[in-house]
Amino acid sequence: MHVLKYVILILVSGWYINVDAQTSHFQLKGNVQSLTGEPLQHATVRVNDLVIITDSKGYYATRSLRDRKVRIHVSALGFKSQEQTLALKDTVTYLNFNLKQDDKYIEEVQVMGLTKTEEVNRQAYNVTAIDATKLYNTTLDIAGALDRVAGVRVRENGGLGSSFNLLLNGFSGEHVRYFLDGVPMENFGSSFQINNIPINLAERVEVYKGVVPVWLGSDALGGAINIVTNNKKQNYVDVSYSYGSFNTHRTVINTAVTNKYGLTLQLNAFQNYSDNNYKVDIAKHNNRLDNYTKPTRISRFHDTYHNESIIANFGVVDKPYADRLLFGIVLGQNYKEIQTGARMDAVFGGWHRRGSTVMPTLKYSKKNLIQGLDVILNANINLGKEQNIDTVAKRFDWFGDTQAGLPPTAGERNRSLYKYSNNEGLVTATASYSVNERHSFNLNNVFSNFNRKGSDELNPGNDQYELAKKTQKNILAFGYQYQVADRWSTSIFAKHYSQHNKNGDTHGQQMTRLGYGIATSYFINPRTQLKASYELTNKMPTPYQIFGDVENQEANPNLKPEGSNNLNVGLNYSFSLASSHNFSVTPNLIYRDAKDFIYQRLNQNQSKYIADNRDGVMTYGGEADIRYSYKNFIRAGGSMTYQFLCNMQRVNRDPQTGVETPSDVYRDRMPNIPYYFWNADVAFSFHDMAGKHNDLNVGYNVNYVKSFWLFWPSRGFENSSQKKITPTQFSHDINVVYSLKNGKYNISLEARNITDAKLVDNFEMQKPGRAFYLNLRYFLNRNKF
């Protein structure tokens, strides 16, 4: 009898399960985006009688559906609608939509459907977001795109792969921090720099000026650059190759695949190569062997650069335990010949360096881990190597001639085969809790570790290589935000900075600082936004400033942390005339009061850079960005920056004796820093050229930098026999892009510095002259492969 009961129970249960399976519930998920991959917020997805509105990432998900056969209608303002009838086969079906812009309505789209780039620009912070997708058909790198932003000036020492210094509202170098998807890039190694990362790697680039959000969590005293990659759940292939002047080759491959089970693979790969053999002007005083006596124009002969890099991630998305769980690896290698020192009168012909990046990574994120709590975790460690190779016992001049008679144990600068690893690790954690639509809290912690270890087979007994070079840094930040949607937003935050440095046999140096700030924004109306932000922030010395970079950066273990009061006030205003002429104006005022200001200067023999402190530097200035568009035909605009950096150090101190004397450069403008520069651009788009869905775009860009003092103004005159200024510079660029089949195939031609103007920077380091480039790009975006 008991057995019979169990048999009946099993049969009934099986019948119930079978019936339930026949009436299974189905769910439909996916993304709605434009043909270029931009997520479409507030798009309408109608599934039978059910209506869903996409979120800020263009994502939609239905509730449980009983009908297997569904009719789907997708629409978004400014885009052509799509309809589809589908028989659902799986419990969860992923379906993405790519909508084409409707030219009849595109210019009528107002604030309702903001892109992610527009959302970033509407934050309370002084921030500019660049839509990188509009630059995919160019050969620009991240640095080239940033050079067009108000308040930003990218200063390079030469051509492709050269060292650079980004100037942001008066702050430069290590004052500005770089992030990749919110993760600090300070441990990515020499293979990953903003002037060798192609623009195609990014979906957008966010430039925070002065005050930096809590969730970025770093000691970014002057601002932050956040490179945001394409993390949308889409299947695509994007491949480009370019060739140009100075035997320059650049290749980019980006691809991603996500299947219906939530497994995802993302791959970004790029390579750069250039001989950098452009011509430079050499004056008499640069001569080492006295075999020419007048200014000469000659090609660089020892400046080859190449690098190859891969970023790969594999994992799962949209799981109950994780929105994203990715395990990855970052691989890179580079080779760089060193033509000059910190100035062009130090010439090298054999010295070079090699570097590699081997960095395993972990990325985890989950929204609503519990109701209202979002968490993000990132971790990585760079196990790559760097090597400095200086074994040629010769002295070169600009003709490549060498000086004989040097001992065989000599090098061009310092005989070396020093090979080292910085062993840089990083862990970031962010927790955000939303109490309701108006109140939210944010907690962020960033821990980093630096431990340089190396050896030199040419100097195996050198005790210097055995000395410890270690840094540990932790930054804890807490923030609170209050916002009234589309009207008012205010954030307040506090940060705690801690760093421990150990150099050699010393007991180590412990540094701690506190900081705090506020950012607020108010919309007078949907087209007018007022912004203001203030922060007392700190910047800890970086390992490269403390220990040097084994190339052109000399060590300074006595460098002190820097603090600054940063204030920004700004306005965003947009308006239209006759419905087709659209304008936007974004002026900003800045004020910085820095103590123990860290700046770059030449070392004692003027062959290297060294980071040093000044008692104080005060900065004030302004910037403005103006944009104009007419229908889908003309886009034009420009940005202008003026900044005054004033030296506030009253006395000079002798580093050897400590004796103080009154400073003769008190209240001088800080030298070797551009203070007035602007750029302008205009582009024309011609649609359906030589075929339906074929577009022709023609663009022009101009850059201007006013002359500025190379050394302290009080110690020299523009008319003196010795050069004391960097001259005014103009450069003009032209580009032509022809796109076929809605951007599937693209070909572009670029001409840079078309007037072949002499462009110099960073103590008169000359940059490339006129150059031409051809770029070929293929893009395929599909819902399923």
Secondary structure class of 252 (helix, strand, coil): strand
Cα–chain-centroid distance for residue 124? Answer: 20
Phi, psi (degrees; rounded to nearest 5) at 414: -155, 105
Instruction: At 381, list the tokens.
Output: 């460690």
Residues 123/129, Cβ–Cβ less than 8 Å: no
**Where do the domains of the chain lie, and which CATH numbers do they carry?**
2-108 (2.60.40.1120), 116-782 (2.40.170.20)
Secondary structure class of 222 (helix, strand, coil): coil
Q: Can you give the pLDDT at residue 3?
A: 42
Q: Can you give the pLDDT at residue 291?
A: 53
Q: Which residue type sits at 264?
A: T
Count other Cβ atoms within 10 Å, centred on residue 542: 22
Phi, psi (degrees; rounded to nearest 5) at 343: -130, 160
Q: Residues of the chain whose pLDDT is less than 70?
A: 1-25, 36, 56, 103-114, 233, 284-294, 404-405, 463-466, 505-507, 550-551, 605-607, 655-656, 716-723, 783-785
> Which among 159, 392, 174 has a CA at the least distance from the CA of 276?
159
Q: Can you give the pLDDT at residue 7?
A: 40
> Which among 300, 9, 272, 4 has a CA at the least distance from the CA of 142?
272
Strand (E) or helix (H) holding 393: none
Q: Can you give the pLDDT at residue 453?
A: 86
Q: Can you give the pLDDT at residue 719?
A: 53
Report d(CA 125, CA 121) in Å as an integer.
8
Query: How would DSSP label each residue in 725-776?
Result: EEPPEEEEEEEEEEEETTTTEEEEEEEESTT----EETTTEE---SEEEEEE
Q: Can you give the pLDDT at residue 110?
A: 40
Report d(CA 676, CA 488) in Å as an integer.
33
> Which among 423, 419, 365, 428 has a CA at the least distance from the CA of 177?
428
DSSP 346: S
Q: Can you give the pLDDT at residue 606?
A: 64
Partnered with residue 781 across adjacent β-strands are 236
Own/partner contacts of 116-122, CB < 8 Å, gap of 24 or more, are 116/38, 116/39, 116/41, 116/56, 116/57, 116/203, 116/204, 117/204, 119/56, 120/204, 120/206, 121/572, 122/521, 122/529, 122/572
> Which among 132, 122, 125, 129 has a CA at the least distance from the CA of 220?
125
- pLDDT tens, residue by residue, 455-466: 888 887 776 666
Q: Can you give the pLDDT at residue 17?
A: 39
Q: Can you give the pLDDT at residue 718?
A: 52
Report d(CA 152, CA 643) in Å as an integer.
11
Query: How would DSSP label each residue in 47-74?
Result: ETTEEEE--TTSEEE---B--SEEEEEE
